[in-house]
Structure 1
Amino acid sequence: MEDHSLVLSMAEQAEGPESAALVRYWLARQPEGFSVFRLISSGRIVAFTTRLVLPTPPDEADIVADPVVAAAWRYSQETAPVRPGEHVAMTRFSIYPEHYHVPSRVIDLSNSRVQAEAMRARGRAHGFLVYHDHAAWAERLHVDATRTYHRMAVAVEDAGFEIRDSLHWLYGTGFPKGQDVGKLIDRRRDDHPARHRFTAEFAALRDSVGWTNPQIDALFGFNGMAQHWTTQRRSASVPTVEQWQRLKAEMGFEAPAALDDLVHELNGQKNTPGEAWQNREVIGKGHRVRAGAGVFPQLQSDTFNVTAPATAAAAHWDGWNTALKPSHESIVLARKPIEGTVASNVLAHGTGAMNTAACRTPPGDPEGRWPANVLLSHAWAVDADGWIVDGCVEGCPAAELDRQSGLLTSGANPRRRGADKFRDVYGNFKGQTACKPIRDANSGGASRFYPVFRYQAKAPTSERPRLPDGTVHPTVKPVALMRWLVRLLTPPDGLVLDPFAGTRTTLEAARLEGFDSMGVEAKAEYAELCCLRLHRDVR
């Protein structure tokens, strides 16, 4: 395949000869796992990804050949052994030399495809994404949920369910994970003048010894890479130091010392920030709380230098960012297609409807407001020990909604029946001084129109179990929220199934609501947390 040589060239350019050798290995083993990305304007290949599938048991040759694959398989077996008929999936390579392992449209598209395939996959026990700088990408991967909600919904539909609604749980304690555009500009290194200087001199050396670009490509088994080494366009690039030494030896030319130095300099500067980054003036200190790296990331608090833009371009874009603060989670409300009418399906199977009467607002009021598809978190302020104190934390959705709406009064309003339009009306509809309301008149902020659940950035001990080694689950949901959902959807004597049990929040909610439940958890650490929570008294 003519694309193979270009894929190998990009791998060597971005990650070196060892990675290129592994790419060559997997091209022979699983060519169907490779996807290339082309520019619409020219059709030129600019990037590729490799998605591998490891069956059970894996081929020993694959484990021996690729140390990353071996580590992933070893982790899978230690965490939750892969059973016969299951497989492990891995995005082994994501190579975009012009934007190597930094946020880009190619990486976003690749990650979206990975998530969509994961939802549709059958028999997938584990999935892995391989990145050069895992710490930098850990935060970015967490925020993808709201952007790819539509893919989750489509996958649910493809599985045979029908989408009935989408619920949105709003909270105020998310952490913005975007990138400061002004900093990106100062961090950017523009090597194009130096690259063009190299390509011009190398093209002259090529012509002086009578070689052509196809001959250079043939030397390495490439397909078009020599064009990037000799062009004056934006795609100009420089060979690795090893490739440069081979070019000099095979083509038989003596390169000027300055050109040798340039090759070493440009290779040494790959993936390093530009000079402007070092010139940013420190103007203060900032404080941040963010998730740490690793399988079980804990919240980490640290300080950092606040710096001023070093260039005019960075100053122009100072204050611009690439993402919003995450403040909601989407919940798909789906139903298996019913048989006949809703009434006949409910009578036959006991499912197909929602218990709206049990979920009105406020809770327990049979004449309360109809359940809404917007759910609010009331982020009460807590002290250092996790106990509730007066007030709300900054950004609490319920408090912010009430602040914007102001004091509202609802329910029956006697003055409405005494308005001018009733002045000449007689009988039952004449103006009245009082009338019976549908519900008691009340006043307050707009948050009272929606289900509101307790949420704390630091969950209390009763809702966040911890193992002796400090392991906790990074995304514990409020029990009150899960109780509302369980109550809304579970019929009398129904069974709640949670295929991703986590720390057993849903199962505890089912128990508190009086329902039987069943949970499945793949990670041994989380399963242990489930057991710990199961045997602990409920507060």
Structure 2
Amino acid sequence: MPDPTPPGPRAAILPAPVFTDPRVTLFHGDAVELLRLLPGASVDALVSDPPYGLSFNGQAWDDAAGFRESIPHVDTTAMSAPEVFEVWCTEWAAGALRALKPGAHVAAFGGARTWHRMVRGLENAGFEIRDQIAWLHTTGMPKSMDLSHAIDKHHGVQRTDRIVQTSEHDGVLGATRTVLSKGTPVTEDAARWEGWGTALRPAFEPIIIARKPLAGSIVGNVLSHGVGGLNIDGGRFADDRWPTNVALDPGQADALDMLTGTWQEGSMSRRFPIFRFEHKPAARERPRAYGVSHTTVKPLALMRWLVTLVAPVGGVVLEPFAGSGTTVEAAAGAGYQVIAIEKNADYLPLIRSRMEQ
């Protein structure tokens, strides 16, 4: 019997990868588009550090305008920037849901002010929210305005004793300015608001843990598809502790130890040597190629732990927002197969440099 379905446009196919080796397949393109082209139910886990929707440091990849470009089929004219971010999250999550096997987990970083939008996007796409891991670190920089100084500027006066030092060389975030001395308030209004700012120092980033709905029972899903559970033993900390939904860097670990009254020099190093993930990455974990580096690199140890926790041994890990390639390096180095997508062509050499080391 002839097929009654009328002929339609030729189905879109994945572009050729821009990099391949026995462990990694890297595609250049928009995740919203390419995720829908991956084979259905073919991926074991998604571990990613997506954009947070904060317009971070003026980067186009984290801006509402960039999200709108990714979803031209959605009318976002009347939407606020947070609403656009949620719709964008829903769109990429829908593609990921299709590519993941039933019961497969997602571990995705979010921003403290916008993670609820990502959670809604994942739920809108059909994922179940399973947990949230709190990554606590001590190296975040406050994005706060000095209200007292701003008030003096508003009144058109300058503080002659204010001292600001500008770096001679650009860092990861460009040239930096350090206030060595705030100076003395000049106006009465400024004096009244001395010591006030507009933001806390960031020390927490949530990692959303979600799961594609199971096909039947958890036991049946695990036996049929090889995913659905968490690798508790593989994710245990060095002293055999059960993995928790909090991850600390050394500074936060020592602070917690002191607050609980159990602090001794090096005590946390002995009790939680793996639980204590490194600070935000140092230069050696921030690849640079052709003068380009990435501004939001995560620690390799943290990404390796997440991959181990949610992906079956030797499985296929998906990273649709590869950035500088931290997840790619962490997963490939731990023996997983990796499918990665990166939209920004400037970052592709960073991923190549990691894999060619």
Q: 1 or 2, which has the higher helix percentage?
A: 1
Count of matched residue pairs: 272
Query: 2:118 aligned with 1:152, yes or no?
Result: yes
**CA distance in structure 2 between the aligned counterparts of 1:175 and 1:370, rounded to whole angstroms:** 31
Correspondence for 1:162 among 128, 131, 146:
128
Which residue in the other structure is 1:479 paired with?
Answer: 300
Correspondence for 1:371 among 234, 243, 247:
243
**CA distance in structure 2 between the aligned counterparts of 1:85 and 1:475, rounded to whole angstroms:** 21
Partner secondary structure for residue 301 of structure 2: helix
| Cα shift at 1:493 | 3.2
Q: Residue type matched to 1:509 in 2?
A: A
Correspondence for 1:117 among 87, 92, 103:
87
Which residue in the other structure is 1:3 paired with?
Answer: none
Correspondence for 1:181 among 137, 140, 147:
147
**CA distance in structure 2 between the aligned counterparts of 1:185 and 1:356, rounded to whole angstroms:** 53
Which residue in the other structure is 2:253 paired with?
Answer: 398
Q: 1:85 to 1:473 in 2, by over 3 A?
A: closer
C-alpha contact (below 8 Å) 1:277/1:310 kept by paired residues: no
Matches within 5 A, 1:27-66: none
C-alpha contact (below 8 Å) 1:174/1:327 kept by paired residues: yes
| Cα shift at 1:186 | 3.2
Which residue in the other structure is 1:222 paired with?
Answer: none
Q: Residue type matched to 2:262 in 1?
A: L
**CA distance in structure 2 between the aligned counterparts of 1:92 and 1:310, rounded to whole angstroms:** 45
Matches within 5 A, 1:381-460: 396-407=251-262, 444-445=267-268, 448=271, 451-456=275-280, 459-460=282-283
Q: What fraction of aligned residue pairs are identical, expressed as a percent?
A: 38
**CA distance in structure 1 between the aligned counterparts of 2:180 and 2:73, rounded to whole angstroms:** 39
Query: 2:161 aligned with 1:277, yes or no?
Result: no
C-alpha contact (below 8 Å) 1:401/1:447 kept by paired residues: no
C-alpha contact (below 8 Å) 1:486/1:510 kept by paired residues: yes
Q: Residue type matched to 2:289 in 1?
A: L
Q: Residue type matched to 1:110 in 2?
A: S
Q: Residue type matched to 1:118 in 2?
A: W
Partner secondary structure for residue 259 of structure 2: helix
**CA distance in structure 1 between the aligned counterparts of 2:92 and 2:331, rounded to whole angstroms:** 28
| Cα shift at 1:303 | 5.3
Matches within 5 A, 1:216-231: none
**CA distance in structure 2 between the aligned counterparts of 1:446 and 1:501, rounded to whole angstroms:** 31
Partner secondary structure for residue 357 of structure 1: coil
Query: With structure 2 as the length reference, what TM-score do the two structures score?
Result: 0.67
**CA distance in structure 1 between the aligned counterparts of 2:120 and 2:170, rounded to whole angstroms:** 31
Q: 1:110 to 1:182 in 2, by over 3 A?
A: farther
Q: 1:299 to 1:476 in 2, by over 3 A?
A: farther
Which residue in the other structure is 2:174 paired with?
Answer: 298
Q: 1:336 to 1:122 in 2, by over 3 A?
A: closer
| Cα shift at 1:321 | 1.3
**CA distance in structure 2 between the aligned counterparts of 1:452 and 1:354, rounded to whole angstroms:** 20
Query: 2:195 aligned with 1:319, yes or no?
Result: yes
C-alpha contact (below 8 Å) 1:298/1:474 kept by paired residues: no
Q: 1:90 to 1:186 in 2, by over 3 A?
A: farther
Q: 1:335 to 1:184 in 2, by over 3 A?
A: same
Correspondence for 2:220 among 344, 349, 358:
344
C-alpha contact (below 8 Å) 1:402/1:446 kept by paired residues: no
C-alpha contact (below 8 Å) 1:406/1:445 kept by paired residues: no
C-alpha contact (below 8 Å) 2:137/2:280 kept by paired residues: no
| Cα shift at 1:286 | 4.5
Matches within 5 A, 1:202-281: 274=154, 276-278=155-157, 280-281=158-159
C-alpha contact (below 8 Å) 2:237/2:275 kept by paired residues: yes
Q: Residue type matched to 1:491 in 2?
A: P
Which residue in the other structure is 1:530 paired with?
Answer: 351
Deviations 1:5-51 (A, max 9, x none): xxxxxxxxxxxxxxxxxxxxxxxxxxxxxxxxxxxxxxxxxxxxxxx
**CA distance in structure 1 between the aligned counterparts of 2:113 and 2:188, rounded to whole angstroms:** 32
Which residue in the other structure is 2:316 paired with?
Answer: 495
Query: 2:341 aligned with 1:465, yes or no?
Result: no
**CA distance in structure 1 between the aligned counterparts of 2:258 and 2:268, rounded to whole angstroms:** 7
Query: With structure 1 as the length reference, what TM-score do the two structures score?
Result: 0.45
Structure ID, larger Rg: 1
Q: 1:288 to 1:355 in 2, by over 3 A?
A: farther
Q: Residue type matched to 1:166 in 2?
A: Q
C-alpha contact (below 8 Å) 2:277/2:302 kept by paired residues: yes
C-alpha contact (below 8 Å) 2:164/2:177 kept by paired residues: no
Structure 1 gap ranges (5+) = 1-74, 77-83, 94-108, 124-143, 188-273, 379-395, 410-442
Which residue in the other structure is 2:9 paired with?
Answer: none
**CA distance in structure 2 between the aligned counterparts of 1:399 and 1:285, rounded to whole angstroms:** 33
Which residue in the other structure is 1:310 paired with?
Answer: 186
Q: Residue type matched to 1:282 in 2?
A: T
Q: Residue type matched to 1:120 in 2?
A: T
Which residue in the other structure is 2:54 paired with?
Answer: none
C-alpha contact (below 8 Å) 2:135/2:205 kept by paired residues: yes
Which residue in the other structure is 1:57 paired with?
Answer: none
C-alpha contact (below 8 Å) 1:161/1:334 kept by paired residues: yes
Q: Residue type matched to 2:112 in 1?
A: T
Q: 1:176 to 1:511 in 2, by over 3 A?
A: same
C-alpha contact (below 8 Å) 1:163/1:335 kept by paired residues: yes
**CA distance in structure 1 between the aligned counterparts of 2:141 and 2:243, rounded to whole angstroms:** 29
Matches within 5 A, 1:17-28: none
Deviations 1:150-179 (A, max 9, x none): 111111111110000001111111110022
Q: 1:408 to 1:456 in 2, by over 3 A?
A: closer
